[in-house]
Amino acid sequence: MRITVMTADEQIISLDVDPHESVENVKALLEVETRVPLQQQQLLFNGKEMKNFEKLSALGVKDEDLVMMVSGSAPSVEASRDMGLNPDGSAVNPSALQQQLRQDSNMMGQLFQTDPEFAQALLGNDLDKLQSVLRERHRQRSEMRRKQDEELALLYADPFDVEAQKKIEAAIRQKGIDENWAAALEYNPEAFARVIMLYVDMEVNGVPLKAFVDSGAQSTIISKSCAERCGLLRLLDQRYRGIAHGVGQSEILGRIHVAPIKIGNIFYPCSFLVLDSPNMEFLFGLDMLRKHQCIIDLKDNVLRVGGGEVSVPFLHEKDIPSRFLDDERHAKEASSSGAPANSSAGDKNRGSASSGASHGGNLQGAEFEAKVAKLVELGFGREAVVQALKLFNGNEEQAAGFLFGG
């Protein structure tokens, strides 16, 4: 097993030792590492001194546990005892432990790579949070040891026991998952952090908004309340009512065919689907991203519009209203693929299964393919044609107008 030894001068030493090793032999190893004579060493575990004749296993020392090493006078022993851990993994003196670890820049650097939550707790001022993290890490180590004990027991199981073999198979599979998780934690720790979605500042009809940039949504979407605030609800074309299907579904109230949006210092024409969705405000979708030749530049963290004539920075988390961060899930449910799957001009059934049939609402089969071929002959790409026809529920004339307008 591996134990970590912290010396009085803040040196961190990792040792591979046998669980049944004596404390005296551990001190001999530390003498080689630290040049501190064995006789001058005092080892502490959970605030108690470890005697030379005692075995690590008898003292309760397990894999990944922390042992303190001090030398010299009794006050140093007392100070190190304050830095010990309780049986539940919490610190005896969390303030002393926090101060000691903060002073070790190498240790803090390693923690930010391998355990950013623990590192943040050490840098913060909430000792209760630090204690909570220490207890959780202790629980995780205990769970890992329990699994290792179970695996060891399975090694001696009857090879002809069907249930035992199933457990062995599950243990092997879980071990692969755990190793994959550990590798990700070491080499790709940012994968466990929260990813903030892309927002930029825009103005819609002169009203400042935080726009959610989403290349995964086919259509640009504005909520009814936001459209009303921007003075655009009077332009709502209710002939385009329907249902937007994605992860969930939302009612499409209609379409605003054109309104000015300001990105940077330049105005651009934009069209919107208006959704009856109180959980999102304004989503800048793929239709307008394509139309205005936008580039999502994650290297420079900017949105480039018009092929690069305007660049606006993506907002930092502190600049995004907290309710927006909570509402991203609802926005994705409202848009997801973003296409108004059952929307069409003259739809009186508000997105029923038969809506738009008079405009060729069947979005598959020979009739749909014939429309695709006809529009492709006009010089448009097949993918763009298919998206346009789906956007307008198979209406060939509206799709052609959209393609020519884009």
Catalytic residue set: 214
Q: What are the tokens at 122?
A: 């050490």
User: Hey, what's the torsion of the CAs at 92, 98, 99, 101, to 10 degrees?
Assistant: 110
User: How far is CA 404 from each of CA 15, 376, 390, 398, rounded to the nearest angstrom?
Assistant: 71, 12, 16, 10
Question: Rounded CA gap, 142 and 92, in Å?
Answer: 19
CA 258 to chain centre: 35
Q: What are the tokens at 354?
A: 């038969």
Half-sphere exposure of residue 220, counting CA atoms within 13 Å on the CB side?
Answer: 21
Q: How do 2-7 and 66-71 pair as beta strands?
A: parallel
Q: Within 10 Å of residue 51's Cβ, how many Cβ atoms?
A: 11
**Residue that the structure tokens 């205990």 belong to:** 142
Structural contact between residues 301 and 314, judged by C-beta atoms closer than 8 angstroms: yes
Q: Given its phi and psi angles, is residue 337 left (phi above 0), alpha (psi -120 to 50 degrees) or beta?
A: alpha
What residues contact 36, with CB distance under 8 A and at least 6 apart?
Answer: 7, 30, 69, 71
Terminal CA-CA length for the chain: 65
Residue type, 400: A
DSSP string, 127-195: HHHHHHHHHHHHHHHHHHHHHHHHHHHHHTS-TT-HHHHHHHHHHHHHHHHHHHHHHHHHH-GGGGSPP
